[in-house]
Chains A and B, each alone.
Chain A
Amino acid sequence: DGGITQSPKYLFRKEGQNVTLSCEQNLNHDAMYWYRQDPGQGLRLIYYSQIVNDFQKGDIAEGYSVSREKKESFPLTVTSAQKNPTAFYLCASRASGAYEQYFGPGTRLTVT
């Protein structure tokens, strides 16, 4: 069953703690993306990676970090430097040469 998975679905953390969100895909896609979605807002791009071992900052990268050591995996770390980390986080992947993105189910992060 091909797809993109994110875990966990819900995540709770205390302020000041770093937290890592998982994103795995078995679609053999080269490109992967991380977005943040807040109520009433569009998806905002945090980081993206077009190929293994390479990634670029999106529009709101401050306070976040990523790695792309394997084609299948693109974890996102929300650091304590992110001022408003509570949000719905979406991971997506895309096949080379195609424009459409395939999204995971999302992780809802709550920081108190």
Chain B
Amino acid sequence: SQKIEQNSEALNIQEGKTATLTCNYTNYSPAYLQWYRQDPGRGPVFLLLIRENEKEKRKERLKVTFDTTLKQSLFHITASQPADSATYLCALDTSGGSYIPTFGRGTSLIVHP
């Protein structure tokens, strides 16, 4: 079956450290992968998109990598802050470049001061 896996356990880190979240997938060949941030009780907010031919994308303190051989994306937040605490969702194209991404369940990040 086709699956998108994000760690269901919360990631706890200390302020100032780099947070790394993982998104693994099976049986897809996505044309792109996206990362969203979701705060409790609110809608997700788009952060970054990376295409299949890109290895890495950066935006301020955020960095996303995409390894289509390993079928994995890593999402890094450098110099993390308590305000970065949220759930982070990955979403990927599961039908050949369509505009209907499939979302993972998300991983909760907690940054301790």
Interface residues of A (CB under 8 A from B): 31, 35, 40-43, 45, 48, 50, 58, 88, 90, 92, 94, 99-106, 108
Instruction: Summarize B's interface: helix, strand, loop or mixed.
Output: strand
Query: Are A92 and B89 touching (Cβ within 8 A)?
Result: no
Given contacts A42-B4, A99-B49, contact A106 B103 (CB under 8 A): no
The distance in angstroms between the C-alpha atoms of A52 and B46, with both chains bound, is 24
How many B residues have CB within 8 A of the partner chain? 22
Among residues 9 to 60 in chain B, which have CB atoms less than 8 Å away from a CB atom of chain A? 32, 34, 41-46, 49
Q: How far is the CB of B98 from chain A (nearest CB, A)?
A: 9
Among residues 59 to 113 in chain B, which have CB atoms less than 8 Å away from a CB atom of chain A? 89, 91, 93, 99-106
The distance in angstroms between the C-alpha atoms of A54 and B100, with both chains bound, is 15
Among candidates A45, A58, A92, A100, residue contacting B43 with C-beta atoms closer than 8 Å: A92
Query: Are B100 and A48 touching (Cβ within 8 A)?
Result: yes
